[in-house]
Chains A and B, each alone.
Chain A
Amino acid sequence: MRLHRKARFLSAALVPMLVLAGCSGGTAGSDGKQVNLTVWSWDGTVEKSVPGFEAENPNIKVKVVNAGSSYDEYTALDNAIQAGSGVPDLAMFEYFAVPYFAIPGKLADLGKFGVDGLEKDYVRAAWNDVTVNGKVYGLPSDYGPSAMFYNEATLKKAGVNEPPATWDEYYEDAKKVHALGGNYYIAQDTGDLFFLLSLIWQAGGRPFKVNGTKVHIDFTDEGTTKAVAFWQKMLDEHLLNTKITAWSDDWNRALNDGTLASQIMGGWLTSTLPDRAPKAAGQFRVALMPQWTQGDKVGAENGGSAFGIPAAAKHKDAAYKFLEYFTHGAGLSPRVEAGAFVPVTPVLDSTDFQSKPSSYFGDQKVGAVLAQASNSVASGWQFPPFFEWARSIYGDLVSKFYTTGEGSLAGILEEWKQRMVKYGNEQGFTVD
Chain B
Amino acid sequence: MPSITSPQTSSGKAVAATSGVSMRHSRRRRRLYTVENPKKSVTLTVVTGLFTLYCLLPLGWLVINATKSQSDFVSSFGLAPGHRFALWDNVVEVFRYQDGIFSRWLLNTLLYVVVGATVSTFLAALAGYALAKLRFSGKRVFLFVILGSIAVPGIALAIPQFLLFAKLGITNTPWAVLIPCFINPFGLYLMWVFTAEAVPTDLLEAAKVDGAGELRTFIQIALPMLAPASVTVLLFSFVSIWNNYFLPLIMLKDPNWYPLTIGLNEWNKLGSTAGDGALIQNLVITAALLTIVPLIIAFLTLQRYWRSGLSLGAVKG
Direct contact of A and B (CB under 8 A): yes
Is B275 at the interface (CB under 8 A from chain A)?
yes
The distance from the CB of A310 to the nearest CB of chain B, in whole angstroms, is 13
Q: Please indicate the chain A residues that have their CB under 8 angstroms from the CB of B274 in the complex.
A: 194, 246-247, 303
Which segment of B6-14, B145-153, B276-284, B307-315 sits at the interface? B276-284
Q: Please indicate the chain A residues that have their CB under 8 angstroms from the CB of B162 in the complex.
A: 79, 83
Is A315 at the interface (CB under 8 A from chain B)?
no
Residues of B239-285 at the interface with A, using a CB-CB cut-off of 8 Å, are 249-250, 253-255, 266, 269-279, 281
Q: For the complex, give the distance between the alpha carbons of A40 and B253 in Å.
A: 9
Taken residue by residue from 225 to 243, chain B's Cβ proximity to chain A (1 for < 8 Å, 0 otherwise) reads as: 0000000000000000000
Residues of A392-428 at the interface with B, using a CB-CB cut-off of 8 Å, are none
Q: For the complex, give the distance between the alpha carbons of A65 and B273 in Å.
A: 19
Q: A253 is contacted by which of B75, B272, B279 (Cβ under 8 Å)?
A: B75
B269/A69 in contact, CB under 8 A: yes
B255/A66 in contact, CB under 8 A: yes
Is A269 at the interface (CB under 8 A from chain B)?
yes
Is B203 at the interface (CB under 8 A from chain A)?
no
Is B42 at the interface (CB under 8 A from chain A)?
no
Q: Please indicate the chain A residues that have their CB under 8 angstroms from the CB of B71 in the complex.
A: 278-279
Q: For the complex, give the distance between the alpha carbons of A224 and B277 in Å.
A: 31
Instruction: Determine which residue in A248, A270, A276, A341 has the highest number of CB atoms from chain B within 10 A of its CB, and name it.
Output: A276
Q: Please indicate the chain B residues that have their CB under 8 angstroms from the CB of A76 in the complex.
A: 250, 253
Instruction: Determine which residue in B167, B169, B274, B276 has the highest number of CB atoms from chain A within 10 A of its CB, and name it.
Output: B276
Closest to A340 in B: B276
Q: A272 is contacted by which of B75, B159, B277 (Cβ under 8 Å)?
A: B277
Closest to A67 in B: B253
The distance from the CB of B277 to the nearest CB of chain A, in whole angstroms, is 7
Q: For the complex, give the distance between the alpha carbons of A249 and B266 in Å.
A: 17
Given contacts A66-B266, A86-B172, are A268 and B255 in contact (CB under 8 A)?
Answer: no
Is A366 at the interface (CB under 8 A from chain B)?
no
Q: For the complex, give the distance between the alpha carbons of A277 and B162 in Å.
A: 41
Number of interface residues of B (CB under 8 A): 30
Q: A72 is contacted by which of B169, B249, B272, B278 (Cβ under 8 Å)?
A: B249
Taken residue by residue from 260 to 281, chain A's Cβ proximity to chain B (1 for < 8 Å, 0 otherwise) reads as: 0000000011111001111100
A256/B279 in contact, CB under 8 A: no
Q: For the complex, give the distance between the alpha carbons of A339 and B276 in Å.
A: 9
Is B166 at the interface (CB under 8 A from chain A)?
yes
Is A104 at the interface (CB under 8 A from chain B)?
no
Is A11 at the interface (CB under 8 A from chain B)?
no
Q: For the complex, give the distance between the alpha carbons of A312 and B91 in Å.
A: 42
Taken residue by residue from 56 to 98, chain B's Cβ proximity to chain A (1 for < 8 Å, 0 otherwise) reads as: 0000000000000011001100000000000000000000000
Q: Please indicate the chain B residues that have their CB under 8 angstroms from the CB of A252 in the complex.
A: 74, 279
Is A70 at the interface (CB under 8 A from chain B)?
yes
Q: For the complex, give the distance between the alpha carbons of A67 and B258 in Å.
A: 10
Closest to A194 in B: B274
B281/A86 in contact, CB under 8 A: no
The distance from the CB of A49 to the nearest CB of chain B, in whole angstroms, is 17
Q: B163 is contacted by which of A67, A82, A256, A269 (Cβ under 8 Å)?
A: A82
Q: Please indicate the chain B residues that have their CB under 8 angstroms from the CB of A303 in the complex.
A: 274-275
Given contacts A85-B171, A246-B274, A275-B70, are A79 and B250 in contact (CB under 8 A)?
Answer: yes
A278/B74 in contact, CB under 8 A: yes
Q: For the complex, give the distance between the alpha carbons of A14 and B71 in Å.
A: 45
Q: B273 is contacted by which of A84, A85, A247 (Cβ under 8 Å)?
A: A247
B254/A65 in contact, CB under 8 A: yes
The distance from the CB of A276 to the nearest CB of chain B, in whole angstroms, is 6
Q: For the complex, give the distance between the alpha carbons of A341 and B243 in Å.
A: 36
B279/A68 in contact, CB under 8 A: no
Residues of B173-204 at the interface with A, using a CB-CB cut-off of 8 Å, are none
The distance from the CB of B296 to the nearest CB of chain A, in whole angstroms, is 26
The distance from the CB of A92 to the nearest CB of chain B, in whole angstroms, is 11
Q: Please indicate the chain B residues that have their CB under 8 angstroms from the CB of A270 in the complex.
A: 276
Closest to B162 in A: A79
B266/A279 in contact, CB under 8 A: no
The distance from the CB of B257 to the nearest CB of chain A, in whole angstroms, is 11
Given contacts A83-B163, A85-B166, A86-B171, are A278 and B276 in contact (CB under 8 A)?
Answer: no
Q: Please indicate the chain B residues that have their CB under 8 angstroms from the CB of A269 in the complex.
A: 276
The distance from the CB of A383 to the nearest CB of chain B, in whole angstroms, is 16
A278/B75 in contact, CB under 8 A: yes
A83/B167 in contact, CB under 8 A: yes
Taken residue by residue from 147 to 175, chain A's Cβ proximity to chain B (1 for < 8 Å, 0 otherwise) reads as: 00000000000000000000000000000
Q: A85 is contacted by which of B169, B271, B279, B281 (Cβ under 8 Å)?
A: B169
Given contacts A253-B75, A278-B71, are A86 and B276 in contact (CB under 8 A)?
Answer: no
Closest to B163 in A: A83
Q: Please indicate the chain A residues that have their CB under 8 angstroms from the CB of B269 in the complex.
A: 69
Q: For the complex, give the distance between the alpha carbons of A268 and B276 in Å.
A: 5
The distance from the CB of A397 to the nearest CB of chain B, in whole angstroms, is 19
Q: For the complex, give the distance between the alpha carbons of A279 and B271 in Å.
A: 17
A272/B167 in contact, CB under 8 A: no
Taken residue by residue from 181 to 216, chain A's Cβ proximity to chain B (1 for < 8 Å, 0 otherwise) reads as: 000000000000010000000000000000000000
Q: Please indicate the chain A residues that have their CB under 8 angstroms from the CB of B250 in the complex.
A: 75-76, 79
Q: Please indicate the chain B residues that have their CB under 8 angstroms from the CB of A84 in the complex.
A: 166
Q: A271 is contacted by which of B172, B255, B276 (Cβ under 8 Å)?
A: B276
Instruction: Determine which residue in B250, B253, B254, B269 has the highest number of CB atoms from chain A within 10 A of its CB, and name it.
Output: B253
Given contacts A83-B167, A85-B171, are A247 and B253 in contact (CB under 8 A)?
Answer: no
Q: Please indicate the chain A residues that have their CB under 8 angstroms from the CB of B276 in the complex.
A: 268-272, 339, 341
A247/B255 in contact, CB under 8 A: no
Given contacts A66-B266, A86-B171, A272-B277, are A256 and B271 in contact (CB under 8 A)?
Answer: no
Given contacts A65-B253, A278-B74, A279-B75, are A83 and B275 in contact (CB under 8 A)?
Answer: no
Closest to A82 in B: B163
Q: Please indicate the chain A residues that have their CB under 8 angstroms from the CB of B277 in the complex.
A: 42, 69, 272
Q: Please indicate the chain A residues that have their CB under 8 angstroms from the CB of B255 in the complex.
A: 65-66
Q: Please indicate the chain A residues that have their CB under 8 angstroms from the CB of B273 in the complex.
A: 69-70, 247
Q: For the complex, give the distance between the alpha carbons of A65 and B71 in Å.
A: 29
Q: For the complex, give the distance between the alpha carbons of A270 and B275 in Å.
A: 10
Closest to B167 in A: A83
B253/A83 in contact, CB under 8 A: no
| A contact residues vs B (CB 8 Å cutoff) | 40, 42, 44, 65-70, 72, 75-76, 79-80, 82-86, 194, 246-249, 252-253, 256-257, 268-272, 275-279, 303, 339, 341
**Other A-B pairs beyond A86-B253, A249-B74, A278-B70, 10, CB < 8 Å:** A40-B253, A82-B163, A83-B167, A247-B273, A252-B279, A253-B74, A256-B74, A272-B279, A275-B279, A279-B71
Q: 10 A-B Cβ contacts within 8 A?
A: A65-B254, A69-B269, A69-B273, A80-B253, A86-B166, A86-B172, A252-B74, A272-B271, A278-B70, A303-B274
The list of the 6 closest CB pairs from A to B, nearest first, reads: A83-B166, A268-B276, A275-B279, A278-B71, A271-B276, A252-B74
